[in-house]
Chains A and B, each alone.
Chain A
Amino acid sequence: MDGDLSPQDKKDLDKFIKFFALKTVQVIVQARLGEKICTRSSSSPTGSDWFNLAIKDIPEVTHEAKKALAGQLPGIGRSMCVEISLKTSEGDSMELETWCLEMNEKCDKDIKVSYTVYNRLSVLLKSLLAITRVTPAYKLSRKQGHDYVILYRIYFGEVQLGGLGEGFQTVRVGVVGTPVGTVTLSCAYRTNLAFMSSRQFERSAPIMGIIVDHFVDAPCGNQRPITMGQLCNYRPPDEDDGGAFAGVQDSQEVCTTSFSTSPPSQCVCTLSPSPSKLSKPLPLDSLQLPLAPGLVTHNLYASRLSYQPAPPGGAAEFNTNQVKEGGNVLVPAQPQPPHGADVHLTIENAPNTPSSSGDEDGLLQSGEGRRDDGRRSVSPSDPVESLNAFTRKVGAFVNKPNTQITAASLDLPFAAFAPRGLDSEENDPMVRPPDSPPSQSPLQASLHSQGSDGSGPQDDFVMVDFRPAFSKDDLLPMDLGTFYREFQNPPQLASLSLHTSSQSMADDLDSLPEKLRVYEKNIDEFDAFVDMLQ
């Protein structure tokens, strides 16, 4: 059967089919993430966009697909299937659809591999994009979240449609004839959602405290939650990691196709491999927190189909309980990790996710964690420890230097108004006395505002010796840490406190008729404004 096909053509065809299979899986899984997908057109070929379509590659999905294929290609009797199922928070699961990439014996010998087959596969992928938004599972996947999640499973071999219930429908996405067989892509989807309708939306409130480890040991063998979600905005590709959507994992398998038009009956296609970076495999099976945002193991975020980078507070602090607080967080893009793995996912704020308040909590938490860490490194809670590292400053009017220093205040005139040089590393002339000992460290001096009354000059006193010129009494005895903690929780604004608000409410009510009169007078203006907006 392959006798008529040149070795180069055969090689190309195998490559096309392999990457077609991988891209098919990507399209299907991405369509079930629950987010709108958006990729950018580019007039100049990047060399890594197979079939001339901008389809991002989620590394985990590619990994799963390759694992399922195990080096084989879809062939006769060997189909590649992607099964999409739904799992409720109570643990019930139901298969929704099965996408099958099959090959049958019908060959088209005359077709040009590197041209017609390639273009037809591209059209087939576009059809797949369109059809994945049409089947019933799409709407379900867009609404996933608290009540249920969508899972996917890739398998190779015989197609299994038994789990789809009675009366399932089949839609054929398309076929492409090749010299070795006809590639067929179809979807069988469940129509009987009776199980769903009785249980769905029984709860009105979101389910709190979803146990994340519910999904850690995938109960159905190979099922994987679709956890890598990304919201894709229409942005220039150079904001991504180096601009290349690493569409290809293998080093030699980059597609730069060029087509020839010279004699219309002959189409010559040259495929030239171009260098591409090898990506490191992700540690998928471990529950370790990855070192960088952008790389996440699926197990940790199984509560919904969304991508959550870890809070950057450090690996040690992370535990699975934190996940539920994060919700379906899509955090602003973090700086790329230094190590070589391709970080393909760019994460951004999701304006249309339902629990955006949960996002902020998660963000705040992670932000705070980060700040805490940062602060701790700068101003250790024990001032004594830090001060041993440098020579103490001696104030202008202090009698004797002390060996130990406790929290002392910053003796400044107008201390209440002085900027607390938290992160300023500049020399504050007010802080540093003019005749301080030579080995003082201005950095640490400005960072530590030590408070105490510096009056006792005895050696065994744990007192401050820090008396800058023009000093006056301490106003605020605190160190950097205390300062920060205090000012993080400012007192509530007066206008928001209850007793004043009730008063103002009465005032508001009184002024209402007056306001209404004014508005009615200007009704034309408002109408014009509204028209302008439309």
Chain B
Amino acid sequence: MNCRSEVLEVTVEARQVEEATLALLHTILLHRSTGKFHYKKEGTYSIGTVGTQDIDCDFIDFTFVRVSSEELDRVIRKAVSEFKDALSSDGMGQISLEFYQKKKSRWPFSDECIPWEVWSIKVSVVNLANEQERQICREKVGEKLGEKVINVVEVINRHEYLPKMPTQSEVDNVFDTSLKDVQPYLHKITYQITDSLGTSVSTTMRRLIKDTLAL
């Protein structure tokens, strides 16, 4: 099974990096989260309710919808914040949201993580000279993000591969059940920074190794 890969590119000012990335990540996660599963006997389960919240951006003329879950928001914000800090004021970087499934392996091998969908958001940071340009940038980036949201929705509504709904014993291989109020698919966020010369730094490798060990 191939992993679906989508790339979204945005060009923003330094102060817009965080909001733009959050907007896109949350839009994706909105579609890739369900309510909490409650398994009952005989293998049936019922699903909790997902609430949504409108978030206005401060530095971009844009409003996005995210799942009403403070825990999830915290996790995403933390990752985005690290990404933003790593990005210099004039550089490029890429933050990836990867959905994966765990596959149990026999001992002594650790569980495998098989990605089934990867979203990569390529962010280019620009510096603007004056306030007028910044105002135009606010609006332009807002429109751009709107287009990206439409792209995301388009991809998701192709209804291509999704992991099968798991049984109770398998649910942790497909979903992240650690949150109290929603249940997104298992995912991880990684980023890599491209320095001005265009060569990528080893950040990705380090993070991937960390994540693998954390599993």
Show the binding face of A for B, using Cβ within 8 Å.
36-46, 49, 52-54, 115, 120, 122-124, 126-127, 129-131, 133-135, 138-139, 142, 171-176, 234, 256-262, 264, 267-268, 270
Contacts and interface: CB of A to CB of B under 8 A. Distances in A.
B150 A134 contact: yes
A130 B157 contact: no
Interface in B162-180: 164-168, 180
Given A44-B48, A256-B46, A123 B63 contact: no
B199 interface: no
A42 B181 contact: yes
Nearest to B169: A261
Interface in B149-195: 149-150, 152-154, 156-157, 159, 164-168, 180-182
A42 B49 contact: yes
Contact of B180 (A43, A52, A268): A43
A270 B40 CA distance: 12
Given A123-B157, A127-B31, A129-B65, A45 B53 contact: no
For the complex of A and B, the 10 pairs showing the least CB-CB separation, nearest first, are: A174-B157, A262-B43, A39-B51, A36-B54, A134-B146, A41-B181, A54-B51, A41-B51, A43-B36, A49-B49
Could you tell me the dominant secondary structure of chain A's interface residues? mixed
Nearest to B159: A120
Contact of B34 (A52, A124, A139): A52
A300 to B, nearest CB: 27
A176 B156 CA distance: 11
B27 interface: yes
Contact of A234 (B27, B56, B68): B68
Could you tell me the dominant secondary structure of chain B's interface residues? mixed
B48 A42 contact: yes
A245 to B, nearest CB: 9
Contacts of A134: 146, 149-150
Nearest to A268: B44
B42 interface: yes
B50 A52 contact: yes
Contacts of A268: 44
A311 B28 CA distance: 43
Contacts of B180: 43
A270 B30 CA distance: 26
A219 B88 CA distance: 56
Interface in B35-89: 35-36, 38, 40, 42-54, 56, 61, 63-65, 67-69
A263 to B, nearest CB: 9
Nearest to A269: B44
Given A44-B38, A131-B153, 14 more contacts: A36-B54, A36-B56, A38-B68, A124-B157, A134-B150, A173-B157, A174-B154, A234-B53, A257-B46, A259-B47, A260-B44, A261-B165, A262-B42, A264-B164
A379 to B, nearest CB: 48
A172 B154 CA distance: 8
A43 B159 contact: no
B129 to A, nearest CB: 25
Given A38-B54, A130-B64, A134-B150, A45 B45 contact: no
A133 B54 contact: yes
Contacts of B146: 134-135
A41 B182 contact: yes
Nearest to A120: B159
